[in-house]
Amino acid sequence: MADTPNTESADVVIIGAGVIGCALALELARRGHTTVNVDKAAAAGSGSTINSCAIIRFSYSTEEGVNFAWEGGQYWSNWADHIGTDDELGLIEYHECGQLVMTSETDPRAERVAELWAQLDIPFERLGLDELTTRFPWLDHGMYGPPKRPEDPAFWDDPSGTITGGVYTPNGGYVSDPQLSCHNLQRGAEAHGGRFRFNSEVVSIDRGDGRVTGITLAGGDRIEAPVVVNVAGPHSAVINQMAGVFDEMNIKTAALRHEVHHVPSPPGIDFEASGVVVADDDVGFYCRPEVGNHVLLGSVDATCDPREFVDPDDYDRSIDEEQWHMQVLRANRRINELGVPHERKGIVDLYDVSDDWLPIYDRTALDGFYVAIGTSGNQYKNAGVAGQVMADLIEAVEGGHDHDNDPVVTVGRYTGRALNVGFFSRNREINPDSSMSVHG
Ligand SMILES: Cc1cc2nc3c(=O)[nH]c(=O)nc-3n(C[C@H](O)[C@H](O)[C@H](O)COP(=O)(O)OP(=O)(O)OC[C@H]3O[C@@H](n4cnc5c(N)ncnc54)[C@H](O)[C@@H]3O)c2cc1C
């Protein structure tokens, strides 16, 4: 005989237990709200978070982006305090190895980053070529940009000159086990009564009297709640369609397939111990140290690279030979000794990409239904601050604030700086200052 469906209730249902869904759970539970995270996977962080490069960096093209990332970065430096409890699996370690953004005369983007860092009092240094040689002798100084693909004969040209150097912040870094960070956040939320339901797929967003009333799971169980938050990562558009809010949003989201590759450190270099996060828009790649003395290589989504939008439930998860070669060859221009290993190692996963590559942290036209989506391959670092901002937004709107006409402005817990939630509105026009790319 089939089980009778159960009904439970909560103040807030959070769809998804990735790093952002878990961060929101901790924030709300700590404030005394009853929360349930519902995830179709078997454990926290099993969605796109598990394959995140988890780079913590502050190189964004907008002031709001840098401000948000700098506030978000403080959570990683204060992780044990933020979690506030033990985790039997241990807490993540934040590897604060520093971040270097290459600068060149032909590309103003790094200069813009340096201006924003100065404006927001983010510690950094400008490094000339001599200083680069001293600190990072494995870096080639050639100027190769704009990024090209190996099938373009110009890819193989000699450098057209030299780069000018780099801007370096000691506070950038990475987390090598992003899934563990979700478990930490889960344990933190549970210590305040937060509940988690795994192997539970949301199949309906329920509504009544013009607002959300909860969700229904495959199998028929219901969770009644006056507030439901879509934090479903690359499935965000599917959930928005279920809720009937997809069409009303000016900015949309879609799942973009992405590959990240791992290669051994060049001979004689202990990149795991002495490497840094490098962002290089000239060559068109970014990298960071990876465990096992490897170098993790990611793409900055150069305009010459095709974008592969896919069905999040049906896409090719194997490493593509062509992409592997392109990414490793690009990296070789900057790190000459890297070589092209025979064995192709890496991961394939999905970005939840918004139309302008900026996230959407907002309410929707359906009262009680909120979104923390469109994290476009670059919001792992911001999970803590996204949790705070979403909790502030939900409390304000449920308390009667008209966010659509008078955007909520909140204050960063660590930096004390204003965070304008309206910047992340679903109804914004495409932000022309967005780089439409990522450095991880
Ligand atoms: C390859 C790659 C590299 C990246 N590198 C970086 C980086 O270096 N730095 C950085 O800051 N960011 C990076 N990002 C982005 C970052 O990882 C994401 O922004 C972040 O992990 C998103 O977390 P999330 O909680 O929103 O989503 P997810 O982790 O995707 O979680 C969403 C969850 O929703 C669940 N779900 C979906 N549909 C349903 C349903 N119907 N019912 C129940 N559950 C459902 C899924 O199972 C999943 O667990 C990268 C992303 C990728 C893919």
Q: Which residue has the tokens 């900055």?
A: 300
- Pseudo-torsion of CA 171, 173, 179, 183, nearest 10°? -20
- For ligand 1, atom 21, name the residue with the nearest CA: 49
Could you tell me the distance, in angstroms and rounded to a whole number, from the CA of residue 231 to the centre of ligand 1? 8
Q: How far apart are CA 184 and CA 196, in angstroms?
A: 13
The answer to whether residue 198 scores a pLDDT higher than 70 is yes
Could you tell me the distance, in angstroms and rounded to a whole number, from the CA of residue 103 to the centre of ligand 1? 30
Verify whether ligand 1 is closer than 6 Å to residue 350 (CB atom).
Answer: yes
* Predicted local confidence at residue 199, as pLDDT: 98
Residues 181, 167, single domain; the answer is no
pLDDT (tens digit, 9 = 90+) per residue, 241-262?
999 999 999 999 999 999 999 9
Verify whether ligand 1 is closer than 6 Å to residue 440 (CB atom).
Answer: yes
- Is residue 431 a part of any domain in this protein? no
Number of CB atoms found within 10 A of residue 232's CB:
30
Verify whether ligand 1 is closer than 6 Å to residue 51 (CB atom).
Answer: yes
Residues 114, 228, single domain; the answer is no
- Is residue 437 a part of any domain in this protein? no
- Is residue 429 a part of any domain in this protein? no
Is-contact 386 361, C-beta < 8 A? yes
Domain count, the chain: 2
Q: How far apart are CA 124 and CA 127, in angstroms?
A: 10
* Predicted local confidence at residue 2, as pLDDT: 59
Q: How far apart are CA 160 and CA 165, in angstroms?
A: 15
Could you tell me the distance, in angstroms and rounded to a whole number, from the CA of residue 324 to the centre of ligand 1? 22
Residues 324, 398, single domain; the answer is no
- Is residue 439 a part of any domain in this protein? no
pTM recorded for the entire structure: 0.97
Is-contact 140 333, C-beta < 8 A? yes
Could you tell me the distance, in angstroms and rounded to a whole number, from the CA of residue 49 to the centre of ligand 1? 4
Residues 28, 63, single domain; the answer is yes
- Quick one: average pLDDT of 61-87? 97
pLDDT (tens digit, 9 = 90+) per residue, 134-193?
999 999 999 999 999 999 999 999 999 999 999 999 999 999 999 999 999 999 999 999
Q: In the numeric block, which tokens belong to residue 144?
A: 């190769």
- C-alpha to C-alpha distances, 365 to 123, 208, 225, 238, 248, nearest whole angstrom: 41, 14, 17, 16, 7
Residues 104, 65, single domain; the answer is no
Task: Name the residue of 49, 229, 317 to mutate for ligand 1: max ligand atoms within 8 A of Cβ.
Answer: 49
CATH code (residue 325) = 3.30.9.10
- Please, what is the average pLDDT of the chain? 96
Q: Which domain holds residue 35?
A: 7-90+177-252+356-424
Verify whether ligand 1 is closer than 6 Å to residue 57 (CB atom).
Answer: no
Residues 122, 267, single domain; the answer is yes
CATH code (residue 53) = 3.50.50.60
Handedness of CA 277, 282, 285, 291 (dihedral sign): negative
> What confidence tier does 41 reach under pLDDT thresholds 50, 70, 90?
very high
Residues 275, 314, single domain; the answer is yes
- For ligand 1, atom 52, name the residue with the nearest CA: 52
* Predicted local confidence at residue 1, as pLDDT: 55
